[in-house]
C-alpha cells in the first residue's frame, strides 16, 4: 500500500489533499503488526523468546484471529522458523500477506458471525486441546476476533447468536457492552481458549482496537479470564430494552451460572492507536503543519462526535499558518434505517455540515483496518465544498440521515476512502488540515 490508495475526488483537488494521503499512509504503516511481532518474537536453533521469556518447545503452535491475523501470523512464522509446527489463522479480509504452508486458513464472518466462524472456533479449541506440555502455543489476537471465532454451547443456535449480534449493532451498544455479552455465552471467549489448552504453555500478543486496551474486551479475551459480574451481560440487555428480541434459549444462556474462570496467562499489548496518532502527528509536523492532538479516546454517537470535531476544526479556519488537528477513538451508530454506511462515514458527514463553506479545510475520518461498517470503504473525506457539491448533485441529506445511508452519499461524491484491507486494526483516526486563507 502507498499513499495513493487514500486518494478521493476531493483529495485530488484540494491544496492539502496530498498531505492527507501522506498522513493517513504514515498512520497506517505505524500500526502494521510485523515490526511489533519482530520486537517480541525471536528464536535460534533451540530456543524461542516471547518478550523476555525463553522456551525450548517441542513444537510451536500458532492461533491467530482478527483483522490483523494474516499479517501477524506471517510475521511470527518468520521469527519462529523451524520451531513452527502448525496452526490456525482466522481472518476477515485478505490483506495480501503471504500464506504459510504449515498453517490452516479460515476466512470467517464479520461483524455477524457465520458457520465459518463456528467451524473456526471449534478447530481452534481442538487444536490447543491436543497440544502437550512440551509445546508452546502462541496466540495472536486483533480486533474483529469476537465474530470471526465462535464456540457455541449446545443450548442455542447460530441463528440465535446472529439475531443477537444484529440487534446489538443496531441499538448503538458499544464494543465493551457487546463483548460483555459475548464472553458470557461463548465457550472460547473470556479465557475459554486458554482453558482448553490446559497445561500447555500459552502466550498472547495483542494488537488492540479497543480504547484503554482492556485485554478481556479485545476479541472478547480468548485467553483472558472473564472479569464481569454474573449479571453484567443481562444489564446490557436491560439497558437497551432488547430482551423481547431474544430467543428463550439465549435468555437462558445469559442468565445461567457463569462458567469457571481460568487463571490468566501472560499477555502483551504490542500495538494500539497511540502509534498511529504519533506517526500522523510526526508526519504532519514534517510537512509544515502546526499540529494539535485532540481527544485520543473518542467515544459516543458518531454524528455528535463529528459535529463536535467539525466545530473544533472551524474554530481554526482563520489561522495564518497551516494547522493539523488529529484525534482518535471509536464511535457508535444507532441505526434508524436500512441504508449502507459506517461510523466514520456518519462522523465525516456530521463534520462536513459544520465546515460547509470553509474552502481552506479538508478532513478525513478513517478506520485503520480499511473497513468502516459493512462496507468496502474505510471512511470518507470532506471539505468546505462537500455540502455545495451534494446540493448540485441533488443528494438528499434528510433521507441520508434517516436511513443511515452515508455510503451512498459519499460514493456519489467520490469521497469514500477505499485503501482495502490494511493488515492492522487500531481504532479510528480523524485528521483535519487547515491552510491559511489568501490575504
Last residue in a domain, options 253, 271, 289: 271
**Is residue 292 domain-shared with residue 348, that is, in the same domain?**
yes
**Is residue 15 domain-shared with residue 37, that is, in the same domain?**
no
| 380 is a domain residue | yes
Half-sphere exposure of 372 (CA within 13 A, CB side): 33
DSSP output for 212-280: T--TTTGGG-TTS---S-TTHHHHHHHHTT-GGGS-HHHHHHHHSPPPPPPPP--EEEEE-HHHHHHHH
- Residue 334 confidence (pLDDT): 86
| 233 is a domain residue | no
Closest by CA position to 367, among listed 377, 376, 375, 378: 378
CA distance linking residue 235 with residue 422, whole number of Å: 35
**Is residue 342 domain-shared with residue 387, that is, in the same domain?**
yes
**Is residue 18 domain-shared with residue 69, that is, in the same domain?**
no
Sign of CA dihedral 220, 37, 70, 368: positive
Expressed as residue numbers, the domain containing 212 is: 33-151+186-226+261-271
| 172 is a domain residue | no
Q: Residue with C-alpha cell 480486533?
A: 143
* Burial class, 209, CB count within 10 angstroms (exposed 0-12 / middle 13-18 / buried 19+): buried
| 339 is a domain residue | yes
pLDDT tens string 388-423:
999 999 999 999 999 999 999 999 999 999 999 999
pLDDT tens string 79-101:
999 999 999 999 999 999 999 99
| 409 is a domain residue | yes
The 267-271 sheet, strands edge to edge: 103-107, 84-91, 60-65, 136-142, 202-207, 267-271
Q: Are 425 and 369 in contact (CB under 8 A)?
A: yes
Residue 32, classed as helix, strand or coil, is: coil
Last residue in a domain, options 271, 304, 335: 271
- Three-state SS annotation for 318-332: CCCCCEEEEEEECCE
Distances (CA, A) of 385 to 63, 211, 284, 307, 396: 47, 33, 23, 16, 16
Q: Looking at residues 229-251, what average pLDDT do you find?
A: 94
Instruction: Give percent of the chain with pLDDT exceeding 70.
Output: 99
Q: Are 415 and 352 in contact (CB under 8 A)?
A: no
| 178 is a domain residue | no
**Is residue 364 domain-shared with residue 410, that is, in the same domain?**
yes
Residue 145, classed as helix, strand or coil, is: helix
The CATH number linked to 312 is: 3.40.1480.10
**Is residue 331 domain-shared with residue 209, that is, in the same domain?**
no
**Is residue 319 domain-shared with residue 394, that is, in the same domain?**
yes
- Residue 313 confidence (pLDDT): 97
Q: Looking at residues 140-149, what average pLDDT do you find?
A: 96
Which DSSP letter does residue 205 get? Answer: E
Q: Is the pLDDT of residue 261 over 80?
A: no
Q: Looking at residues 1-20, what average pLDDT do you find?
A: 91
Q: Are 432 and 324 in contact (CB under 8 A)?
A: yes
Q: Looking at residues 341-346, what average pLDDT do you find?
A: 96
Closest by CA position to 380, among listed 15, 3, 4, 8: 8
How many domains does one find in the chain? 2
Which DSSP letter does residue 430 get? Answer: E
Q: Is the pLDDT of residue 3 over 80?
A: no
pLDDT band, residue 1 (cuts 50/70/90): low
- Residue 263 confidence (pLDDT): 75
The CATH number linked to 68 is: 3.40.50.10180
**Mean pLDDT, the chain, integer:** 95
CA distance linking residue 269 with residue 276, whole number of Å: 15
DSSP output for 42-98: EE-SS-EEETTEEE--S-EEEEEESTTHHHHHHHHHHHHGGGEEEEEEEESS---PP
135: which 3 cell numbers? 509445546
Q: Report the helix count and the strand count for the chain, using DSSP H and E.
A: 17, 15
Residue 161, classed as helix, strand or coil, is: helix
- 339 Ramachandran zone, left/alpha/beta (phi>0; psi -120 to 50): beta
**Is residue 146 domain-shared with residue 216, that is, in the same domain?**
yes
Can you list the positions of beta strands (E) in 120-213?
Answer: 136-142, 202-207
Q: Are 70 and 107 in contact (CB under 8 A)?
A: no
Residue 410, classed as helix, strand or coil, is: helix
| 253 is a domain residue | no
**Is residue 341 domain-shared with residue 382, that is, in the same domain?**
yes
**Is residue 70 domain-shared with residue 202, that is, in the same domain?**
yes
Spatial CB neighbours of 126, under 8 Å, sequence gap ≥ 6: none
| 429 is a domain residue | yes
The pair phi, psi for residue 326, each rounded to 5°, is -125, 135
Which DSSP letter does residue 332 get? Answer: B
According to DSSP, the residues that pair with 98 across neighbouring strands are none
436: which 3 cell numbers? 491559511
CA distance linking residue 107 with residue 57, whole number of Å: 29
**Is residue 278 domain-shared with residue 267, that is, in the same domain?**
no
CA distance linking residue 283 with residue 30, whole number of Å: 11
Q: Looking at residues 259-287, what average pLDDT do you find?
A: 91
According to DSSP, the residues that pair with 371 across neighbouring strands are none
Last residue in a domain, options 214, 243, 271: 271
- Residue 439 confidence (pLDDT): 63
**Is residue 109 domain-shared with residue 120, that is, in the same domain?**
yes
Q: Are 105 and 71 in contact (CB under 8 A)?
A: no
Amino acid at each position: 500500500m502507498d499513499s495513493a490508495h487514500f486518494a478521493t475526488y476531493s483529495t485530488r483537488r484540494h491544496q492539502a489533499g496530498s498531505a492527507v494521503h501522506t498522513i493517513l499512509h504514515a498512520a497506517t504503516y505505524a500500526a502494521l503488526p510485523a515490526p511489533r511481532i519482530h520486537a517480541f518474537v525471536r528464536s535460534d536453533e533451540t530456543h524461542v523468546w516471547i518478550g523476555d521469556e525463553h522456551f525450548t518447545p517441542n513444537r510451536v503452535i500458532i492461533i491467530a484471529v482478527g483483522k490483523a491475523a494474516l499479517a501477524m501470523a506471517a510475521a511470527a512464522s518468520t521469527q519462529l522458523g523451524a520451531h513452527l509446527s502448525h496452526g490456525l489463522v482466522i481472518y476477515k479480509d485478505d490483506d495480501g500477506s503471504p500464506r504459510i504452508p504449515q498453517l490452516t486458513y479460515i476466512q470467517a464472518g464479520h461483524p455477524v458471525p457465520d458457520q465459518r466462524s463456528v467451524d473456526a472456533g471449534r478447530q481452534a479449541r481442538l487444536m490447543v486441546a491436543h497440544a502437550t506440555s512440551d509445546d508452546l502455543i502462541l496466540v495472536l489476537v486483533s480486533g474483529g476476533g469476537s465474530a470471526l471465532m465462535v464456540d457455541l454451547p449446545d443450548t442455542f443456535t447460530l441463528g440465535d447468536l446472529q439475531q443477537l449480534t444484529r440487534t446489538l449493532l443496531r441499538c448503538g451498544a458499544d464494543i465493551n457492552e457487546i463483548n460483555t455479552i459475548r464472553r458470557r455465552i461463548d465457550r472460547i471467549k473470556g479465557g475459554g481458549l486458554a482453558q482448553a489448552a490446559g497445561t500447555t504453555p500459552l502466550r498472547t500478543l495483542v494488537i488492540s482496537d479497543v480504547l484503554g486496551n482492556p485485554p478481556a474486551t479485545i476479541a472478547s479475551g480468548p485467553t483472558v479470564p472473564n472479569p464481569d459480574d454474573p449479571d453484567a451481560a443481562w444489564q446490557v440487555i436491560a439497558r437497551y430494552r432488547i430482551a423481547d428480541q431474544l430467543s428463550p434459549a439465549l435468555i437462558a444462556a445469559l442468565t445461567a451460572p457463569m462458567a469457571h474462570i481460568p487463571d490468566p496467562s501472560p499477555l502483551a499489548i504490542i500495538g494500539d492507536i497511540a502509534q498511529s496518532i504519533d506517526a500522523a502527528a510526526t508526519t504532519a509536523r514534517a510537512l509544515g503543519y502546526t499540529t494539535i492532538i485532540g481527544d485520543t479516546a473518542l467515544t459516543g454517537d458518531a454524528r455528535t462526535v463529528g459535529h463536535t470535531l467539525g466545530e473544533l476544526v472551524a474554530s481554526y479556519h482563520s489561522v495564518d499558518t497551516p494547522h493539523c488537528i488529529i484525534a482518535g477513538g471509536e464511535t457508535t451508530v444507532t441505526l434508524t434505517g436500512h441504508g449502507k454506511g459506517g461510523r466514520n462515514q456518519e462522523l465525516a458527514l456530521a463534520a462536513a455540515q459544520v465546515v460547509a463553506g470553509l474552502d481552506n479545510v479538508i478532513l478525513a475520518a478513517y478506520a485503520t483496518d480499511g473497513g468502516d461498517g459493512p462496507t468496502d470503504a474505510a471512511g470518507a473525506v470532506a471539505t468546505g465544498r462537500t455540502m455545495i457539491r451534494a446540493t448540485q448533485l441533488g443528494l438528499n441529506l434528510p433521507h441520508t440521515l434517516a436511513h443511515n445511508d452515508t455510503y451512498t452519499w459519499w460514493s456519489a461524491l467520490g469521497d469514500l476512502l477505499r485503501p482495502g484491507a490494511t493488515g492492522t486494526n487500531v481504532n479510528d483516526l480523524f485528521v483535519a488540515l487547515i491552510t491559511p486563507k489568501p490575504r
